[in-house]
Amino acid sequence: MNKSILIPALSAMLCLMSANVIAAGGHGGGGSSVNKSGKTACKSTVIKHLRPVHLASVAPGSEFSFQIDGIDDEKYVEVTAKKIPVEMEVEHRGGILWFKGKLPESLVNTAARVHIEVNYKRCPAEKGWLLKITE
């Protein structure tokens, strides 16, 4: 095959393949796209605005917060820090739930994953992030 035809043909094929990979990419940062059973979860339950940010260094007992869209009752939400249940304060603002909690005082000089699980039958979701807890 002629080189002048081969190079543009290969370039076009690579562009088409990369476009499909990009289109099939991530889920845009909202909750988990796969639930515990391995089935694709719906996109209407979204966990976002995780504070402090992933891998931030914080003091023991520090406050953390997040927001959940797509549910109307906090009873569906379970929050743990390094598998320790955390009590949360909840504020309802315009159909959005804002959660605030504090890391357990017992977590010192360690890393802890804050894990959020929404057990909403119509649209479950889960998400988490890691915090470095100093003295």
- What pTM value is reported for the model? 0.69
Structure tokens at 48: 């976002």
Backbone phi, then psi, for 132, in 5-degree steps? -95, 120
CA distance 95 to 73: 10
User: Is the CA virtual torsion 21, 70, 68, 35 positive or negative?
Assistant: negative
Residues with Cβ within 8 Å of 94's Cβ and at least 6 positions away in sequence, in order, are none
Tell me what pLDDT residue 121 has: 87
Given a cut of 80, whether residue 118 has pLDDT beyond it is yes
What confidence tens digit (pLDDT) does each residue in 39-75 have?
555 778 999 999 999 999 999 999 999 999 999 899 9
Given a cut of 50, whether residue 25 has pLDDT beyond it is no
Strand 63-69 and strand 96-102: pairing?
Answer: antiparallel
Delineate the domains of the chain, giving CATH numbers in brackets. 46-133 (2.60.40.10)
